[in-house]
Amino acid sequence: MPIVLDEKPDSTQVKPLIETSAYRSYKAYSDAGVKDIEMPRPVIAPYQAQQKFFSQVDESKGPITRKITRMIRRRERGIEYLTYTEDWEAKDWLDRPIEGVTDKLEGMVLLPNITPVVDEKGQKIGRDVKGRRTAYEIPYTKETVEKLIEESGTPKSDIIFTFRTAERRANTVTYDQFINSTFQQGLEIMMQDGHFELDYVEGLKKKDVKK
């Protein structure tokens, strides 16, 4: 008898173990009718790397551990957002460490620019995907930062805290500088020589004077 193959499940309808920004980027393209082979590499590559990781995970050997490596404050069109990177680790069914996912970016998705296609009568007959746009998912708040750090269990000392603009990027010296400075204050510090390092030293000097 001939073998009848089962239909492959729609990967966008199967939720991954962790729903990520990469998954939402991929799903946006898939929902627009773009095939995997036609997707931009920045969309398909992170998604496939994460799917490969999930396919090897055996949660009976322990949970997926997520460590935040960097948190970034940025402002886009007057709104401040938070993005962050993290590393994943887990074990397979033989209790062996899986090659992890590193520097996974969260809080930013890539979306397709969709243009309607019309016929000579002006009737819509389809759609065309031309280029992509970036969208940010996480409005910045101090509470959001604290919640993400608590959920991941990452020590604050292991995280690089960064202010970023289109032209500049600077790492803060302390966690307090990251969460207690307004974005405008961060910009002013980045414009100065020494950036947050000098601001930190000046703050210590002021404390010594008060003593």
pLDDT digits (tens, 9 = 90+) for 93-126: 999 999 888 999 999 999 998 887 777 776 776 7
In the chain, what percentage of residues exceed pLDDT 90? 62
Looking at residue 14, its pLDDT comes to 61
Rounded to an integer, the average pLDDT of 182-186 is 91
Rounded to an integer, the average pLDDT of 139-160 is 95
Looking at residue 137, its pLDDT comes to 96
Looking at residue 59, its pLDDT comes to 93
pLDDT range class, residue 5, cuts 50, 70, 90: very low
Looking at residue 9, its pLDDT comes to 47
**Is 0.85 surpassed by the pTM of this model?**
no
pLDDT, tens digit (0-9, with 9 covering 90-100), for 163-173: 998 888 899 98
Between 208 and 139, whose confidence is greater? 139
Reply yes or no on whether the pLDDT at 4 is more than 50: no
Reply yes or no on whether the pLDDT at 193 is more than 70: yes
pLDDT, tens digit (0-9, with 9 covering 90-100), for 72-90: 999 999 999 999 999 999 9
Between 133 and 99, whose confidence is greater? 133
Reply yes or no on whether the pLDDT at 8 is more than 70: no
Describe the strand order of the beta sheet including 65-76 as a list of residue ranges.
104-106, 79-89, 65-76, 160-164, 169-171
pLDDT range class, residue 55, cuts 50, 70, 90: very high
